[in-house]
Amino acid sequence: MQPLFRPLSFVDLDAMVTLEQAAHPYPWSRGLLGESFGGRYFTGSLWLGEQLLGYFIADRILDESTLMNICVAPAWQGKGLGRLLLEHYLRRCREQELTRLWLEVRASNGPALALYRACGYVESGRRRDYYQSASGREDAVLMQK
């Protein structure tokens, strides 16, 4: 069976919450995830049958987009799904003629930083002590493409 890409909808919220809580030590709340549909937001997800393997949430304003969240199921991490989701996001941005792309990532997330750099993002700044962490706070690396 081949994985299937599709946009997320509100009926996917339970699966998103479950995946978010499993994949991130400081997950988005159900309320925040639920606010990510319609309006200025667009999403993509990767499914294998009824199983949500990963998703992204992004916003768009004029010709810009920010990748707000990208999440891959722990059992599927390290298998290239993050890259597939990011490439799907970048394709959707091209289709919408979005020319300036942004994201932020934990400074300690080496695999994500390497992926973003490999896909053409460059560091454009830092937000000091932005993220909660086990040792207190950590910086967010701001990146643009």
Any idea which residues carry the catalytic annotation? 104, 116
User: CA of 76: how far to CAs of 54, 72, 86, 125, in Å?
Assistant: 9, 7, 15, 30
- Distance between CA atoms of residues 73 and 79, nearest Å: 11
3-class state of residue 75 by DSSP: helix
From edge to edge, which strands make up the β-sheet containing 136-144? 4-6, 41-48, 51-61, 64-72, 100-106, 136-144, 122-133
